[in-house]
Chains A and B, each alone.
Chain A
Amino acid sequence: MFSLIRNEWVKIFKRSGTYVMIGILLFIVAVAGAFMKYQDVQGSVPPNEQWQKGLQMEIDSYQKELENSGDMLPEDVKESYEKIIAINEYRIENNISPNGDYEALSFISDMSSLIDFAGLFMIIIAGGIVASEFNWGTIKLLLIRPITRSKILLSKYITVLLFGFSLLFLLFIFSGILGLVLFGLGGSEPYLLYQDGVVKEQSMILHLINVYSLSSIQNIMLATMAFMISSAFRSSSLAIGLSIFLMFAGGQITHLIAMKYDWAKYSLFANTDLFQYFEGTPMLPGMTLTFSVIMLIVYFLIFQIIAFIIFKKRDIAG
């Protein structure tokens, strides 16, 4: 099995496209780092001792907005206002300035939005890893080895996961090193977490671990879907295109459905975002963390079963 995975790994890294993907990811981090460093980003809050006054003004204006047109505002906008108010109040009470030193951990935290980007590249690999063998015609020589088709497919899937994790690892390490070099290691500022109207402090490192692990779940689910389409339909463009489209639009579409129908909670995209249980509120009432985890496992198994059954039974002709 190990040599099969190594084979797949070699095939990924013998292609220049892979290096382009990694290059893009690192380039964006570098550019973002340079911007943060050399262009002082002015917040809405004065950068001096007056910050408490600034925050209070922000609270007042949002509260006014809520009072005036609270009923007309959509639920999620209202919620985001309440979140800002709560966090600002917490800062004033506990004397935590929003103008704390910007340091390596904050940079990693800011760069964690690029996990989606890593997910995108993971989908590209997952969508191509089986379908390309068909396009190249190499599938014929691959399947006439003394190895069952299930083992070959499994080795490809494990390679996709390894590739995804490597990208995340690279993103974490690179933004960490760059953050250290550019901003240094400052005092550890806590991350403020808002849930059910309550603000909690969380250490930055714990927050980063949360972000990386929860985002990986979404990446894995979408990559598994791309992998399934790739092995079932032998088309990498369909696999990649559809998965990326759903990656960006799936959540929105589910939101729209959720406004009218309750069954939206059974859709994959209502459940991929597990942050909803740690910060903010679930998309639909009645959804719990357990529910989402079960749904994700069910979807995962469905994708895998489809991929394996079709790949095993397929006649390799033409």
Chain B
Amino acid sequence: MKAVVKIENVTKIIKKRKIIDSLSFEVMEGEVFGFLGPNGAGKTTTIRMIVGLIGISEGDIKILGNSVQTNFEKAIQHVGAIVENPEMYKFMSGYQNLLHYAKMSEGITKEKIMETVEFVGLTERIHDKVKTYSLGMRQRLGLAQCLLHDPKVLILDEPTNGLDPAGIREIRDHVRKLARERGMAVIVSSHLLSEMEMMCDRVGIIQKGKLITIQSVHEQVEGGAKEYEIDVDHPTEAMFAVNRLIPQQQAEVKGNTLMLRAQKEDIPLLVKEWVHDGINIYRIQETTKTLEDRFLEVTTLQKEAE
């Protein structure tokens, strides 16, 4: 896989304040990269710098090797983007809007426009004025607008804002499809964790203009070990059994619940041992850490550090 978008030590200073502080990351071909952070963390600012809407104070952003600062036309021709809400010319029809944008890139045929319209499922209403569209339809038109020129990079800023669950799902399906089938590098920003978890391959968490961490969403906990919660009537004794059998792993008692990390194969052994010891087992559950847990973990750690 090759890196399509490279963000190199980018800093943005507005009125002597550092809005973005030496940010660096890369987005690969065919990957959905989530850009996650609380409101005001600098997500939209970063995205606006990538598409050249605002200037870069220090550092550089390269798209397929072309700098957006010195070689804007070359760099941006591979990019399709929605920045915040996709605002369209309301007094024109959806088709006229697309035609307008099509004329600004090279070699987009009318067939290509209709093909894109069909892809986003707007064929029936495309000749109606945009002012009659619902928010979901506008979002679809926005998506069509950035797919017209078959970009290598797709940038969606808060794409699910204000959409109903069906609309959110639709966007999500489209995004995954475009990354899988057309090999686009997709950058999605959001403050909705559950959303990102379902859509992205990797997530970068940004806070106060700094990139705190980049994590794979479906990260396997190291060595295949998983977290378990086990309800028993004598947790302390159960913990001794754990210490005897798998001393390399740590266990913790919370009320009547034993929390431990173990390999899958260890569980039946433990159960036999507990039954042998006369401990009653009520519940064994594998717990996966959600992105939300990790997000809160990371952001609170950050706060404590300050």
- Which residues of chain A have a CB within 8 Å of any CB of chain B? 3-4, 6-7, 10-11, 14-15, 136-138, 140-148, 313, 315-317
Interface of B is mostly: loop
| 20 other A-B residue contacts (CB within 8 Å) besides A144-B76, A146-B76 | A3-B103, A4-B104, A7-B103, A10-B92, A10-B96, A10-B100, A140-B53, A140-B84, A141-B88, A141-B145, A144-B52, A144-B83, A146-B73, A146-B77, A146-B104, A315-B48, A315-B54, A315-B55, A316-B53, A317-B53
Known interface pairs A15-B91, A147-B73. Does A316 touch B100 (Cβ–Cβ under 8 Å)?
Answer: no
Is A145 a contact partner of B100 (Cβ separation < 8 A)?
A: no
B119 within 8 Å of A (CB atoms) = no
B187-202: CB near A (< 8 Å → 1, else 0) gives 0000000000000000
CB distance from B102 to the nearest CB of A (A): 9
Listed by A's residue number, 12 A-B pairs whose Cβ atoms lie within 8 Å are: A3-B104, A7-B103, A10-B100, A14-B96, A136-B89, A137-B85, A138-B89, A140-B83, A140-B87, A142-B104, A148-B72, A316-B53
B27-63 interface (Cβ within 8 A of A): 45, 48, 51-55
8 Å CB contact of B52 from A138, A143, A317: A143
Tell me, in angstroms, the Cα distance from A281 to B81 when the chains sit together: 59
Tell me, in angstroms, the Cα distance from A141 to B105 when the chains sit together: 12
Is A144 a contact partner of B81 (Cβ separation < 8 A)?
A: yes
B86 within 8 Å of A (CB atoms) = yes
Closest residue of chain B to A17 (Cβ to Cβ) is B91
Residues of B within 8 A of A7 (CB): 100, 103-104
Residues of A within 8 A of B74 (CB): 146
Is A143 a contact partner of B104 (Cβ separation < 8 A)?
A: no
Is B87 a contact partner of A144 (Cβ separation < 8 A)?
A: no
Known interface pairs A14-B92, A313-B55, A316-B53. Does A147 touch B87 (Cβ–Cβ under 8 Å)?
Answer: no
Is A11 a contact partner of B72 (Cβ separation < 8 A)?
A: no
Is B89 a contact partner of A315 (Cβ separation < 8 A)?
A: no
Is A138 a contact partner of B53 (Cβ separation < 8 A)?
A: no
Is B103 a contact partner of A138 (Cβ separation < 8 A)?
A: no
Residues of B within 8 A of A6 (CB): 103
Considering the complex of A and B, which 10 residue pairs feature the smallest CB-CB distances, nearest first?
A: A137-B87, A146-B77, A315-B54, A145-B104, A316-B53, A3-B103, A146-B73, A144-B51, A140-B83, A138-B87
Closest residue of chain A to B104 (Cβ to Cβ) is A145
Residue of A4, A137, A145 most packed against chain B (CB within 10 A) = A145
Residues of A within 8 A of B104 (CB): 3-4, 7, 142, 145-147
Interface magnitude class on chain B: 20 to 34
B182 within 8 Å of A (CB atoms) = no
CB distance from A207 to the nearest CB of B (A): 41
Is B54 a contact partner of A141 (Cβ separation < 8 A)?
A: no
Tell me, in angstroms, the Cα distance from A148 to B106 when the chains sit together: 14
Residues of B within 8 A of A15 (CB): 91
8 Å CB contact of B89 from A3, A14, A140, A146: A14
B79 within 8 Å of A (CB atoms) = yes
Tell me, in angstroms, the Cα distance from A37 to B253 when the chains sit together: 104
Is B79 a contact partner of A144 (Cβ separation < 8 A)?
A: yes
Tell me, in angstroms, the Cα distance from A92 to B105 when the chains sit together: 68
8 Å CB contact of B101 from A11, A14, A145, A148: A145
CB distance from B209 to the nearest CB of A (A): 15
Tell me, in angstroms, the Cα distance from A6 to B103 when the chains sit together: 9
B127 within 8 Å of A (CB atoms) = no
B90 within 8 Å of A (CB atoms) = yes
Closest residue of chain A to B142 (Cβ to Cβ) is A141
Residue of A137, A142, A144, A145 most packed against chain B (CB within 10 A) = A144
Is B91 a contact partner of A14 (Cβ separation < 8 A)?
A: yes
Tell me, in angstroms, the Cα distance from A140 to B81 when the chains sit together: 9
Is A141 a contact partner of B91 (Cβ separation < 8 A)?
A: no
Residues of B within 8 A of A146 (CB): 72-74, 76-77, 104-106
Residues of B within 8 A of A315 (CB): 14, 48, 53-55
Residues of A within 8 A of B96 (CB): 10, 14
Tell me, in angstroms, the Cα distance from A142 to B90 when the chains sit together: 14
Closest residue of chain A to B55 (Cβ to Cβ) is A315
Is A143 a contact partner of B73 (Cβ separation < 8 A)?
A: no
Residues of B within 8 A of A143 (CB): 52-53
Residues of B within 8 A of A10 (CB): 92, 96, 100
Residues of B within 8 A of A316 (CB): 48, 53-54
Tell me, in angstroms, the Cα distance from A138 to B89 when the chains sit together: 7
Closest residue of chain A to B84 (Cβ to Cβ) is A140
CB distance from A29 to the nearest CB of B (A): 27
Tell me, in angstroms, the Cα distance from A277 to B77 when the chains sit together: 52
Closest residue of chain A to B86 (Cβ to Cβ) is A141
Closest residue of chain B to A147 (Cβ to Cβ) is B104
CB distance from A54 to the nearest CB of B (A): 57
Tell me, in angstroms, the Cα distance from A147 to B106 when the chains sit together: 11
Residues of A within 8 A of B81 (CB): 144
